[in-house]
Amino acid sequence: MLCGGEPLVVPHFFALAEALGARRASASRSRPTASASTTRWRERLARLPIRSVQISLDGDTQATYARQRVGGSLAQAHAACRAVRAAGLPLEVTFAPTRINLHEAEPVIERARSLGAFRFNTGRLMRIGTAARLWDRLEPTEADYAGFRRAARSASRRLAGEMELCYEPFEIRDGLRGEPRDPPATLLVLPNGWVKVAAALPHICADLRRDRLDGRLECLPRRLAAVIKSLRQRARSSRTRRCSQTRMAGMAPAARRIEITTEDPMSEAEA
């Protein structure tokens, strides 16, 4: 998985995507730009063996979308969605629920269906990036989440066979519980070559600038399992949880928060 920000603005995006494409990597995009809708981009993307192109639709009106994605254009995001489908590529829409946009969740689901998305991907808001800095203003209430999940279940039944609604596990901690036993098969690759453990965690388990896909990454599942197991062990300490929450609230620069774990953790993972 190639993710951003906007991966298409990275000069070496297609060189990396084409190299990974031979091994069935999926390219994932968020925060699309106008260039993503051009014929040249569509033609190059269409030649790649892509499983999914993700585009975020965090509102169904320009007013709401611009509040959540300051300076963003909803019309441009819709145009990128249409361009993806026009190229015959699989469109996946993502939605990050906040106090700002939850009232438009159901219209966004319907919009995703009308744009031809095969999947609508959402879940509890993750406390990372901008969301961490503005957490007190963005975090929905538990009542809001309960209503959102009811709406998602209803839409899932109504759209069965037409568009998949992916919202379980709803929280990152629920998803992580099973990953030491069954690590994700998709590599989430940042533009600088780091491979993340999970989207919501500031940890990486490999570096494609020095790790070969046919070499050291063979032990990637064990590395993922070891890092996740370590995180779970540290989470049992209330002191560690309080420190972690403080760090996330302060949001140090991402590069400083990344913890690199590249040693072979066979013994730790199997312990």
What's the pLDDT score for residue 75?
95
The pLDDT value given to residue 248 = 43
pLDDT for the residue numbered 16: 79
Q: What is the pLDDT of residue 151?
A: 95
pLDDT recorded at residue 232? 65
**pTM exceeds 0.95:** no
Please state, rounded to an integer, the average pLDDT across all residues of the chain.
75
Q: Residue 183 has what pLDDT?
A: 60
Tell me, what's the pLDDT at 32?
A: 46
d(CA 251, CA 133): 7
The pLDDT, as a whole number, for residue 108 is 98
**How distant is the alpha carbon of residue 157 from its chain centre?**
24
Tell me what pLDDT residue 240 has. 46
pLDDT of residue 175: 64
Q: Which residues of the chain, if any, have pLDDT below 70?
A: 1, 3-5, 23-39, 172-187, 198-202, 212-225, 227-228, 231-271
